[in-house]
């Protein structure tokens, strides 16, 4: 939920409950692990050995800063590379897996990350081989237009990217990658 750190606390609480309820509806037992409450040492203990992590959307820079400050970024990357964890989520949750977050400042302000965490991280987790751009072709999503412009900028530079419309999934399993 740390992509929602800059949101009104009551709205964040409602969204947390919504995410947990939806995961329960598909048979997953989940709880919130608030990265604001941890450093690398305490996070390692609190994180435990989960089967999966669900990382919701929101502000990609707030999420990335929370991951870096808490040490969750290294923990997640290590577990993914060891094939010991399933990582799932949407929007900002997918974006942080890219090599870089450059361009996403066009739709997500960096101010919250800077004020809450004292830094803005443009380096992604380097799990994906290229940038991840959500909501493309999703005309009812409020960020569709600006993200279409971000995608166009990547295209002009000849940089490949993962383009996902709402409802699609990028599934990475070892060396196999499928856009569903």
Please tell me the class of the 2-179 domain.
Answer: alpha beta
In this prediction, residues 83-92 reach a mean pLDDT of 93
161: left (phi over 0), alpha (psi -120 to 50) or beta: beta
Judge contact between 98 and 38, C-beta under 8 A: no
pTM of the model: 0.92
In this prediction, residues 155-163 reach a mean pLDDT of 93
Among 71, 64, 87, smallest CA distance to 5 is for 64
Strand partners, 89: 55
The full DSSP string for 41-79 is HHHHHHH-S-SEEEE--S-HHHHHHHHHHHTHHHHHHHH
Q: Express each pLDDT in 104-142 by its tens digit.
A: 998 999 999 999 999 999 999 999 999 989 988 888 887
* pLDDT category of residue 148 using cuts at 50, 70 and 90: confident
Over pLDDT 70: what percentage of the chain? 100
Q: Which pLDDT score is estimated for 2?
A: 94
Q: Does residue 158 register a pLDDT over 90?
A: yes
In this prediction, residues 24-28 reach a mean pLDDT of 95
Q: Which pLDDT score is estimated for 152?
A: 93
Q: Express each pLDDT in 39-87 by its tens digit.
A: 988 999 999 899 899 999 999 999 999 999 999 999 999 999 999 999 9
């Amino acid at each position: 939920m740390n992509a929602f750190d800059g949101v009104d606390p009551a709205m964040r609480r409602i969204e947390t409950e919504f995410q947990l309820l939806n995961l329960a509806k598909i048979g997953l037992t989940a709880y919130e692990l608030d990265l604001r409450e941890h450093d690398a040492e305490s996070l390692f203990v609190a994180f435990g050995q989960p089967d999966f992590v669900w990382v919701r959307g929101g502000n990609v820079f707030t999420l990335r800063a929370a991951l870096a400050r808490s040490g969750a970024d290294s923990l997640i990357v290590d577990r993914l590379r060891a094939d010991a964890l399933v990582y799932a989520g949407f929007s900002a949750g997918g974006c942080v897996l890219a090599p870089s977050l450059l361009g996403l400042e066009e739709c997500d302000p960096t101010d919250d990350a800077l004020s809450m965490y004292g830094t803005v991280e443009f380096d992604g987790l380097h799990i994906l081989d290229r940038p991840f751009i959500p909501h493309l072709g999703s005309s009812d999503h409020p960020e569709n237009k600006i993200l279409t412009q971000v995608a166009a900028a990547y295209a002009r530079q000849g940089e490949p990217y993962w383009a996902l419309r709402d409802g699609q999934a990028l599934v990475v399993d070892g060396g196999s990658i499928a856009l569903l």
